[in-house]
Chains A and B, each alone.
Chain A
Amino acid sequence: MKKNEVPQDKSNLESANFKELCYAVDENGEYTTELSTGWNPKTIALNNAIEALNERISASKQRVKDLKVSPLEYYMELHKMDLPILASYVGIWKWRVKRHFRPAVFKNLNNKTLQKYADVFDITIEELQRTDL
């Protein structure tokens, strides 16, 4: 890549006033660095990934409303987590966390366990228990 070819496309970096460093060759063939504002191929990839994430969140929201899963699953998706990550944050085994996704099991959780989840998601127990998201 030549220095003047370092892409300066619009990207999500702009909002945070953020530029990333790229390595490129100058006109004498010497390596140097240049700041880039973004590059379309990866902006598209990132936007797609975010879109996929949002789809997962809204699908989960619907499942909570239909009382098919407990709100835990929704908050997990909302925080871009998956099961292993959530389990390691609350310090509860994966299979137990998965079980807590069942509304019937979730209903009977004690306050101590609920508090653990609420702390991870930075909300109150009351908020965690609401199913009308």
Chain B
Amino acid sequence: MEIDFKHKQAAHCENGVVANLMTYNGFTVSEPMVFGIGSGLLFTYIPFLKVNHAPVVSYRAMPGIIFTRFATRVGIKIKREKFRNAQTAKARLDENLQRNNPVGLQVGVYNLPYFPDEYRFHFNAHNMVVYGKKDGIYLISDPVMETVTSLTEKELEKVRFAKGAFAPKGHIYYPTAFPEQLQLEKAIIKGIKHTCRDMLAPVPVVGVKGIRKIAKLIRKWPKAKGIKIANHYLGQIVRMQEEIGTGGGGFRYIYAAFLQEAGKLLTNNQLLELSKEMTLIGDQWRDFAVEASRIYKNRSNAVAVDQYDHVATLLEDIANKEEVFFKKLKKAI
């Protein structure tokens, strides 16, 4: 069977899945709207954890939480299920498809055959929608792809039961109950307040303080770890910021798009102005990526230490700008 499901490409997989599932159920919501209401924007440095043998920074909220927040704030109910056993997981998925219900899935990226080889690493928080099954082949709408794709039963089982951090355990989710009308206004205000609180949190590794922490570490790395490792770490930061799924500038452009949409909806001119400001901050993140890439272009070549200081200063400047920005945003709402 095949459900009449409209695939729309998105920058980020989780927002994309939510926006597409909402559209299918008759509520048109844009990707930035989902991201903003779900308070997706963040900056965190996760100490003690290494991925690809380098420290981890994240520019977004934890996987899954954007949808949960979005759902409670606009008043939808979602059903989530995880499984121990691959057979039950498959049976439950087929059951839903039989009932004409497209479902969101959490999967691992490493075994996705349609991804370019270079992008297949052990990352388990990718999201997609299964919207049908034809001759034993599952029809897949992966929001980061331009068009729909498909996976065999075996392939899908493999990605649903990927192992490691954030193992999906066959996780499926779908909305079950909707309000008569989506009340976006209140939800937007809640979402913005939450983001301001996160970004200005008095925690050394979160938000504006987290950015300053990373800047400090960047100054230390070349001496403490050597040029080669420092460059590897720096490369990883840029990858987290710009790799597929961020919409550019570490989600800052998506957030600016959200502020613009919210400003129009709430007829709040301040938000429109702040959207422009966020775009400029996004541009600064891009500049940081360009400058950082000048350093790690040659993996182990010696670079003057003041170059690391230079990119660290860029980050500190961004931190200062974001601090002012989120204080203003808090007042504007």
Contact = CB atoms under 8 A, between A and B. Distances in A.
Interface residues of A, number: 41
Given A23-B247, A41-B293, A48-B296, A31 B260 contact: yes
Given A16-B115, A44-B293, A46-B239, A33 B282 contact: no
B236 A45 contact: yes
A6 B245 CA distance: 15
A51 B290 CA distance: 20
A35 to B, nearest CB: 8
Interface residues of B, number: 55
Contacts of B248: 1, 6, 22-24, 36
Interface stretch (B39-47, B118-126, B132-140, B318-326): B118-126
B52 A49 contact: yes
A53 B118 CA distance: 11
A83 B127 CA distance: 25
Contacts, number: 120
Interface string B102-123: 0000000010001110111110
A12 B310 CA distance: 29
Interface in B274-306: 275-276, 279, 282-283, 286, 289-290, 292-293, 296-297, 299
A123 interface: no
A89 to B, nearest CB: 4
B279 A25 contact: yes
A97 B170 CA distance: 25
13 contacts: A1-B253, A1-B286, A12-B116, A12-B118, A20-B11, A23-B254, A31-B260, A36-B248, A42-B242, A44-B296, A48-B296, A79-B110, A85-B122
Interface of B: 9-11, 32, 50, 52-53, 110, 114-116, 118-122, 144-146, 163-165, 167, 231-232, 235-236, 238-239, 242-245, 247-249, 253-254, 256-257, 260-261, 275-276, 279, 282-283, 286, 289-290, 292-293, 296-297, 299
Q: What are the 3 closest A-B residue pairs judged by CB atoms, nearest first?
A: A41-B293, A31-B257, A16-B116
